[in-house]
A and B are shown apart, each in its own frame.
Chain A
Amino acid sequence: MLAILDYKAGNQTSVARALKFLNIPCIITESSVAVASARGIIFPGVGAAGQAMQNLQATGMGDVLTEAISRGTPVLGICLGCQIMLEMSEENNTRTLGIVPGKCVAFDPGWVEAAGERIRVPHMGWNSLKIVRPSPLFNGIEPDAQFYFVHSYYPCPAAEFVLATTCYGREFCSVYGKDALWAVQFHPEKSGRPGLKLLRNFYDYCVEGKNAE
């Protein structure tokens, strides 16, 4: 069973729909008991960092998450969930969970894409990954696979945690990881077949543990 953390910030049901389609058992929950017994945790999120942090504090889900991580439960952060596992976000200068060193930074609308067009913010649409370090998350994902992104800020973790980058005007970190924790800036639940594969890989890791590597 995977626990999808419910802290009143967005796309929990989209993630649950994708897992259901994959026949992966999951529960959208705000119960610390359910989280404690889960094989893995999905930490989604849509919206603003400040509001999300308030919700995490109000629901107690922030502590539940950090405790589960310290017990070694695998975690997959998605989009805003990816951003707020870092130490701070430039979005309203918000202090975030600080599980992985680094911060979340705003796109600079002055950046220019290879074709000469200035970037539009949010970065919205399909883009590819350049894999920097191998990870069980990437098993069986083709090199030209693209994923669906929607965001105005991007994660900037300490270099040693970067697993993949994406280019939008400049290269930014789109996947990072630390031990059994992973974070993706894109939406795997909306990224067609490669996205579903990534969710499947995460679940396989949760079930099979390090043997999956």
Chain B
Amino acid sequence: MLSKRIVLCLDVRDGKLTKGVKFAGNVDIGDPVESARRYSDGGADEIVFYDITASAERRGIFLDVVEKVAGQVFVPLCVGGGLSHIDDLDAVLQAGAEKVSLNTAAVKNPDLIAEGASRYGSQAIVVGMDVLKVPTSAVFPSGYQIYINGGRTPVELDALAWARKCQELGAGELCINSIDADGTLDGYELNLNALIADAVNIPIIASGGAGNPGHIHEVLTKGKASAALLASIVHYGQYTIRQLKEYAAERGVPVRLSW
């Protein structure tokens, strides 16, 4: 049976690891290459690097990080943040990432999803969606709205409609980040994840809100996610990946326990 995945997310700025809460107040907490190796040794099923480097001229540092990690860590690597052109995708995939995560650029230019999928295959294209709960309306029939620019800018796009559109354009996975839940440690937005998981046939990665092992178990069952993305809960040493996986496994969720 296919295992549910635990995906570790590392935010990188200027080549150093940071972790933000509610998209603000980032602080440096380490070396991304070392962290990636530690998490892979600790049982991470996949590692996502999110580049939050502000200036384009410093992106080279980030590509170096990806390349170093790819030479030492042999689990799938995904890269997101600031990828807006097919050449950006090319650069990170050449550096050794398996997947790219598109967010703002996909909303602004949905053809990038199709172009990426046809050039590298759907498996390489993840669409990241920042989603905020809103009152149900004609514009937002699902009651969820898409935000871009790191969760700062609302767009007139219903999250459910956008998820379907991404699948149609060739996205291989969707990473659903709930802005409401992000950084709260109160649990994932189960309803949002299940809603989207039911509407598409590609895997869903749930993001935002993990605070305890129960939250992860919940989103992989009730939330119908194929993978749970984590950051703080593991970054700050509160739980090991093994503890989180064992908790889920004891409750019948298939996970990878041997590595």
Contact = CB atoms under 8 A, between A and B. Distances in A.
B258 A146 contact: yes
Given A126-B5, A151-B123, 7 more contacts: A10-B121, A17-B70, A117-B224, A122-B203, A125-B5, A146-B256, A191-B74
Contacts, number: 99
Contacts of B259: 146, 192-194
B121 A18 contact: no
B189 interface: no
B208 to A, nearest CB: 20
B12 to A, nearest CB: 20
Nearest to A145: B258
Contacts of B40: 192
Nearest to A11: B98
Interface stretch (A61-69, A82-90, A107-115, A156-164): A107-115
A104 B219 CA distance: 34
Interface in B159-189: 172-173
A115 B124 CA distance: 27
A12 to B, nearest CB: 11
Interface in A7-22: 10-11, 13-14, 17-18, 20-21
B44 to A, nearest CB: 10
A contact residues, range: 35 or more
A161 to B, nearest CB: 24
Interface of A: 10-11, 13-14, 17-18, 20-21, 46-48, 109, 113-115, 117-128, 142, 144-146, 148-151, 167-168, 189-196
Contacts of B172: 122, 124
Consensus secondary structure, chain B interface: loop
Given A120-B226, A145-B258, A18 B203 contact: no
Nearest to B224: A117
Given A190-B74, A192-B259, A114 B201 contact: no
Nearest to A188: B74
B96 A21 contact: no
B2 interface: yes
Contact of A168 (B2, B70, B74, B123): B2
Given A125-B45, A191-B74, A120 B203 contact: yes
B3 interface: yes
B122 interface: yes
Contact of A144 (B122, B226, B258): B258
Contacts of B121: 10, 46-48
Contacts of B201: 109, 118, 120-121
Given A190-B76, A192-B75, A146 B3 contact: yes
A151 B75 CA distance: 16
A103 B162 CA distance: 36
A17 B74 CA distance: 9
B25 interface: no
Nearest to A189: B74
A26 B70 CA distance: 17
Contacts of A196: 74
A84 to B, nearest CB: 15
Given A21-B71, A150-B123, A196-B74, A14 B98 contact: yes
Nearest to B67: A17
A20 B71 contact: yes
A43 B224 CA distance: 36
A23 to B, nearest CB: 13
Nearest to B70: A17
Contacts of A121: 201-202
A168 B1 CA distance: 5
A169 B74 CA distance: 27
B75 A124 contact: no
Contacts of A113: 1-2
